[in-house]
């Protein structure tokens, strides 16, 4: 059996019957719908975000900023990734604790736009890279900054300060 390598574009959920599929873009550009059980390592976006929080020494109580649907998604992704641990220690599954204030953690992603400028006589081509910094917070903040300093300044203004 050959393994297929592709990029998951969309998670398809159906309620009748209850199951989910992945829409995968193959290297050839074709879109293929695969059953959830056939995808060996599906993307777990919330779990990756949760791991970033853990890298910042934020505990389980900080998931209070997630709404019920996103919390259920995080719990499902955690159970998929840690099957044995979920059976042995169900208390480690991410859960919301009462009385915890939401924490804002902004992630900064740098993207590049490349433009080609041609000289008037066609003698040379100049490539110009234009950088953007995207700010994203689980509370719904989506912004773009023109410089890394501005992105860090906005992140500092929006983030909840960590108590040391």
Residue 8, SS3 per DSSP: strand
Average pLDDT of the segment spanning 71-90: 85
Q: Are residues 53 and 87 in the same domain?
A: yes
Over residues 4-27, mean pLDDT: 70
Kindly report the average pLDDT of the chain as a whole number. Answer: 77
The domain in which residue 48 lies consists of 44-102
Count CA atoms closer than 13 A to 40's CA, side-chain side.
Answer: 5
Q: What are 28-76's pLDDT values in tens digits?
A: 778 888 776 666 666 677 777 777 777 777 665 566 666 677 778 888 8
How far is the CA of 77 from the CAs of 60, 73, 86, 115, in angstroms?
15, 6, 11, 39
Confidence of residue 151 (pLDDT cuts 50, 70, 90): very high
Same domain, 48 and 37: no
Question: Whats the size of the chain, residue-wise?
Answer: 164
Question: Domain check: are 3 and 22 in the same one?
Answer: yes
- For 125-144, what is each residue's pLDDT tens digit? 888 888 999 998 877 788 89
Q: What's the CA gap between 67 and 88, in Å, rounded?
A: 26
Higher per-residue confidence, 22 vs 111: 111
Distance CA 140, CA 105 (A): 11
The helix or strand, by DSSP H or E, that contains position 150, with its residue range, turns out to be helix 148-158
Nearest 5 degrees, angle CA 61-CA 99-CA 58? 20
The answer to whether the predicted template modeling score (pTM) of the entire model surpasses 0.95 is no
pLDDT at 121: 84
- Has residue 164 been placed in a domain? no
The per-residue pLDDT for 6 is 66
**Which secondary-structure segment (H or E) carries 127?**
strand 125-136
pLDDT at position 24: 78
Q: Pull the structure tokens for residue 43.
A: 């993307």
Cα–Cα dist 82/54, whole Å: 16
- What pLDDT sits at residue 78? 84
* 56 and 34 part of one domain: no
Say how many domains are in the chain.
3
> How sure is the predictor about 1, in pLDDT bands with cuts at 50, 70 and 90?
very low
């Amino acid at each position: 059996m050959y393994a297929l390598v592709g990029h998951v574009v969309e998670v398809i959920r159906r309620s009748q019957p209850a199951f989910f599929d992945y829409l995968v873009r193959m290297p050839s550009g074709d879109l293929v719908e695969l059953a959830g059980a056939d995808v060996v390592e599906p993307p777990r976006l919330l779990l990756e975000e949760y791991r970033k929080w853990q890298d910042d020494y934020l505990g389980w109580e900080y998931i209070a900023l997630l709404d019920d649907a996103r919390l259920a998604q995080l719990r499902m992704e955690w159970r998929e990734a840690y099957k044995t641990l979920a059976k042995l220690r169900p208390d480690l599954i991410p859960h919301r604790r009462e009385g915890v204030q939401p924490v804002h953690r902004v992630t900064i992603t740098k993207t590049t736009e490349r433009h080609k400028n041609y000289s008037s006589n066609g003698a040379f081509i100049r490539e110009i890279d234009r950088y953007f910094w995207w700010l994203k917070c689980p509370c719904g903040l989506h912004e773009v900054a023109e410089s890394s300093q501005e992105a860090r300044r906005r992140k500092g203004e929006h983030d909840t300060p960590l108590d040391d």
